Amino acid sequence: MEIIYNVSLMQRKADEWRSAGKKIGFVPTMGFFHEGHLELMRVARKNADVVVASIFVNPIQFGPSEDYNRYPKDIERDKKKAQDVGVDILFIPSVEEMYPDGFQTKVHVEKLTKHLCGLFRPGHFDGVTTVVTKLFNIVKPHVAVFGEKDYQQLLVIKRMVKDLNMDVHIIGVPTVREADGLAMSSRNTYLSPEERKSALCLKKSIDMARDMVKKGESNASIIKKKVEELITSYPFTKIQYISICDPDTLEEISQINDKALIAMAVFVGNARLIDNAILEKVEKGDRI
Amino acid sequence: MEIIYNVSLMQRKADEWRSAGKKIGFVPTMGFFHEGHLELMRVARKNADVVVASIFVNPIQFGPSEDYNRYPKDIERDKKKAQDVGVDILFIPSVEEMYPDGFQTKVHVEKLTKHLCGLFRPGHFDGVTTVVTKLFNIVKPHVAVFGEKDYQQLLVIKRMVKDLNMDVHIIGVPTVREADGLAMSSRNTYLSPEERKSALCLKKSIDMARDMVKKGESNASIIKKKVEELITSYPFTKIQYISICDPDTLEEISQINDKALIAMAVFVGNARLIDNAILEKVEKGDRI
């Protein structure tokens, strides 16, 4: 596995691969790899000839009161893990390399960013779409892989790719979870042992919501109230939002007809955790 | 010369060329070709193996009171002219192809767009940078050619390319003028014979400003006042702005030290005309 720190070198490498007819798979990350990241890399491996993963904690997607400065890092461990799953290049640019003096351009997706996390993290998605545009122009992938845990991010990126005619195929990968159901996240490292127990409330409440819908409940307010009750029954929790919305537009819905997305952000101690799932009256597994 | 109307077809053609090691030159236009456009195509020809020109009157770069609906068109004449200068592909997408339902993404350059035309055409440069990003992702050029007549546009695009790591080399081409000095523009077609005479005031006043600077005048207010007087002495004219500014940041300056940009937008009848030049105490030609 090669490590590249420089934008131009990465672009020349991508050109070489493309000239040689290689299909490039790309996994953009903020590092501190867990099984979720590795799964994205494995999917990239299966869908491309060569795989680039990037590690870049992107300052412009963090708000001033957020965890940019304490975001967990362990580059040496990341290198080993990436190598083990067959990544060809680990691209690790510096902040100065990505945002030199005079930087003043942003990519903005308008409607999809006005919901869920976008309401509570102003500028966050502009930071995401801007850095992903830059990374796509640097790595020149045919295929890029993102996790469904960040459902809104995946939707926003798909929209941007379509709207700006980026010739990149976006693959979403189901959330990877710990044995007890907690969605894997680099931010789980912020949790104390007691908070770690409470963190299960996200998955538990989502399972409850899915169950309610399967049993015939279609009133979103009733479901959200039950979810809220369950989450607040756990210590150290503070709900930022619980949304039941259209899975394509992210617009809030009151009545679940065919299917809906449930998405939530919950502070557990200092850690802001998110999770989501599709709510369906008849789930895919039931149809078989 | 091939004509392509479809985004995916254009992308596949660009891929083919790139796989074959061809260097792609690109000239994005709004059509109604004049000698200025053809010069851009000739420069693209010299700097690439294959040349794509696009014709797309981009609705999102026009304000509601602007001339989108009456912008001049003559596709058949354009085809002949493009073929004559050796364009390989003329790319002519429809508005529906470029902006399908649900479109909601824009590219925004922050500081450079807050001056000159950006002050009077809100949203204009977002429209330009968004469509140029799309066209770059569709045509996949190595080199793209723009006219210096749209000085601010050229600067904004160079900034965007740098900031978003687009791997495209941008070439600026000096303004092509009519025999009497009027900068060539598709919008000159709006001028009546009498207005056409008045339209010369832009170039005349720029020449006067250059002369003043060469003769030692460095006070921008004094120069602007003289320029204003000269322009308003012509019938049918209405000044939108006259700016003397830093050629890199476009920030207004009061004192011309080394060099400055003079840029102006003047309505002549219904036609909004722009022109610009670099003001230098010692001009390049003088040094020889």
Q: Tell me whether A102 touches chain B (CB under 8 Å).
A: yes
Verify that B169 and B249 share a domain, yes or no: no
pLDDT in tens, A194-242: 999 999 999 999 999 999 999 999 999 999 999 999 999 999 999 999 9
In chain B, beta strands by DSSP E: 2-4, 24-29, 50-55, 89-91, 105-109, 143-147, 169-173, 237-245, 259-268, 271-280
Verify that A45 and A104 share a domain, yes or no: yes
B159 contacts in chain A (CB < 8 Å): 102, 104-105
Which of these ranges, A243-252, A277-286, B28-37, B162-171, has the smallest mean pLDDT?
A277-286
Residue B235 pLDDT > 90? yes
pLDDT at B115: 98
pLDDT at A282: 81
> Six-digit token pair at A42?
């494995």
A49 assigned to some structural domain: yes
CATH number at residue A126: 3.40.50.620
Residue B288 pLDDT > 50? no
A138 contacts in chain B (CB < 8 Å): 165
Q: Tell me whether B54 touches chain A (CB under 8 Å).
A: no
- Bridge-based pairing of strands A89-91 and A2-4 is parallel
pLDDT at B190: 97
Shortest distance between the Cα of A90 and any Cα of chain B, in A, equals: 18
For residue A94, the enclosing domain spans 2-173
A286 assigned to some structural domain: no
Q: Which of B4, B90, B8 is closest to B52 using CA atoms?
A: B90
CB B105 to CB A160 under 8 A?
Answer: yes
Verify that A105 and A18 share a domain, yes or no: yes
Q: Tell me whether A43 touches chain B (CB under 8 Å).
A: no
CATH number at residue B210: 3.30.1300.10
> Six-digit token pair at A213?
């819908």
Residue B287 pLDDT > 60? no
CB B105 to CB A108 under 8 A?
Answer: yes
pLDDT at B282: 81
Verify that B30 and B165 share a domain, yes or no: yes
Domain boundary among A127, A148, A173: A173
CB A137 to CB B19 under 8 A?
Answer: no
Residue B286 pLDDT > 80? no
Residue B78 pLDDT > 50? yes
pLDDT in tens, B107-138: 999 999 999 999 999 999 999 999 999 999 99
Verify that A95 and A205 share a domain, yes or no: no
B216 assigned to some structural domain: yes
Residues of A designated catalytic: 37
CB A160 to CB B103 under 8 A?
Answer: no
Domain boundary among A146, A173, A200: A173
Q: Tell me whether B69 touches chain A (CB under 8 Å).
A: no
Residue B249 pLDDT > 80? yes
pLDDT at A283: 66
**Best residue of B163, B166, B169 to probe chain A, by most A CBs closer than 10 Å:** B163
> Six-digit token pair at A120?
């509570």
Verify that B112 and B135 share a domain, yes or no: yes
Start-to-end Cα distance in chain A:
42
Residue B97 pLDDT > 90? yes
Closest residue in A to B6 (Cα–Cα): A165
CB A104 to CB B163 under 8 A?
Answer: yes
Q: Which of B117, B134, B146, B41 is closest to B84 using CA atoms?
A: B41
DSSP B282: S
CB B11 to CB A140 under 8 A?
Answer: no
Mean pLDDT within A264-280? 98
Verify that B155 and B232 share a domain, yes or no: no
Phi and psi at A193, nearest 5°, equal: -55, -40
Q: Residue B168: which residues within 8 A CB-CB, separation 6 or more?
A: B26, B136, B141, B142, B143, B144, B161
CB B167 to CB A140 under 8 A?
Answer: yes
Residue B261 pLDDT > 70? yes
Verify that B61 and B165 share a domain, yes or no: yes
Verify that A120 and A247 share a domain, yes or no: no
CA B273 to chain centre: 12
B164 contacts in chain A (CB < 8 Å): 105, 107, 130, 133-134, 137
Verify that A159 and A193 share a domain, yes or no: no
Q: Which of B151, B158, B147 is closest to B115 using CA atoms?
A: B151
B11 assigned to some structural domain: yes
Verify that B123 and B165 share a domain, yes or no: yes
Residue A288 pLDDT > 70? no
A21 contacts in chain B (CB < 8 Å): 19
Closest residue in A to B7 (Cα–Cα): A165
A98 assigned to some structural domain: yes
CB B111 to CB A104 under 8 A?
Answer: yes
B286 assigned to some structural domain: no
Residue type, A194: E
pTM of the model: 0.97
**Best residue of B13, B18, B105 to probe chain A, by most A CBs closer than 10 Å:** B105
CB A137 to CB B164 under 8 A?
Answer: yes
B52 assigned to some structural domain: yes
pLDDT at B285: 62
CB A166 to CB B107 under 8 A?
Answer: no
pLDDT at B138: 98
Report the alpha-carbon distance of residue A228 to residue A222 in Å, rounded: 10
Please say whether the beta carbons of B191 and B268 come within 8 A: yes
State how many domains chain A has. Answer: 2
Mean pLDDT within B147-161? 98
Mean pLDDT within A73-101? 98
CB B165 to CB A7 under 8 A?
Answer: yes
A96 contacts in chain B (CB < 8 Å): none
**Best residue of A96, A104, A112, A161 to probe chain B, by most B CBs closer than 10 Å:** A104
Report the alpha-carbon distance of residue B231 to residue B204 in Å, rounded: 8
Q: Tell me whether A108 touches chain B (CB under 8 Å).
A: yes
Instruction: Provide the pLDDT confidence category of residue B283 given band limits of 50, 70 and 90.
Output: low
Mean pLDDT within A160-173? 98
Instruction: Provide the pLDDT confidence category of residue A285 given band limits of 50, 70 and 90.
Output: low
Residue B155 pLDDT > 60? yes
Instruction: Provide the pLDDT confidence category of residue A48 given band limits of 50, 70 and 90.
Output: very high
Report the alpha-carbon distance of residue A267 to residue A49 in Å, rounded: 40
Residue A75 pLDDT > 80? yes
Q: Among partner residues A104, A110, A163, which is closest to B109 by beta-carbon distance?
A: A104
**Best residue of A94, A157, A163, A166 to probe chain B, by most B CBs closer than 10 Å:** A163
Verify that B86 and B165 share a domain, yes or no: yes
Closest residue in A to B20 (Cα–Cα): A19
A180 assigned to some structural domain: no
